[in-house]
């Protein structure tokens, strides 16, 4: 916004000089005015709003005038700003809820409980632990068909407890 304000000032100055000294300065003022407008349009967020609105409506077009494959192009769907205030607020809330969900409980598992989670014998060595951990993570990972986030976290905590 500051750079846009400076460019507006230069534009006004050029217009005044064009009236007083030489009309040639009117032509010099035009690029400054255009640059000031574009910077203001981008800095105020209106450009991003327009792009998101057109992408959601499926009207977003490339520079060569072709119609894109849909919202976001290539079927990516509508994008919300990566660093939007709303997303930052959600991330803070998620962190706060994660801290509150432990309720002072220790996330450390006992060795016996960790062995039960990983299904290994008390005499298992490091390679057996690693193999059991990898096998459990494959099935418990949230992206797996039968995966569960809580189970995945429990398997991770069990491996950390036994590998220390």
- Token digits for 4? 């846009």
What CATH number labels 111-163?
1.10.287.110
pTM exceeding the 0.85 threshold for the entire prediction? no
pLDDT in tens, 51-96: 777 777 765 554 444 444 445 555 555 555 555 677 777 777 777 7
pLDDT above 60 for 108: yes
pLDDT of residue 49: 81
Q: Which residue has the higher pLDDT, 94 or 15?
A: 15
Q: Mean pLDDT, the chain, as a whole number?
A: 78
Are residues 48 and 81 in contact, defined by beta-carbon separation less than 8 angstroms? yes
Domain ranges of the chain: 2-44, 111-163
Helix, strand or coil, per DSSP, at residue 146: coil
């Amino acid at each position: 916004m500051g750079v846009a304000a400076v460019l507006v000032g230069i534009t006004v100055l050029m217009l005044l000089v064009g009236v007083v000294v030489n009309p040639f300065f009117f032509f010099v003022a035009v690029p400054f005015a255009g640059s000031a407008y574009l910077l203001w349009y981008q800095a105020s967020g209106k450009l991003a709003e327009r792009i998101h609105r057109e992408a959601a409506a499926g009207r977003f077009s490339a520079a060569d005038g072709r119609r894109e494959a849909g919202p976001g192009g290539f079927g990516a769907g509508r994008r919300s700003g990566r660093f939007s205030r709303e997303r930052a607020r959600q991330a803070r809330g998620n962190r706060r809820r994660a801290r509150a969900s432990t309720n002072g409980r220790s996330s450390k598992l006992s060795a016996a409980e960790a062995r039960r989670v990983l299904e290994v014998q008390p005499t298992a060595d490091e390679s057996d632990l690693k193999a059991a951990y990898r096998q459990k993570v494959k099935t418990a990972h949230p992206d797996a068909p039968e995966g569960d986030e809580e189970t995945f976290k429990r398997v991770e905590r069990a491996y950390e407890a036994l590998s220390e």
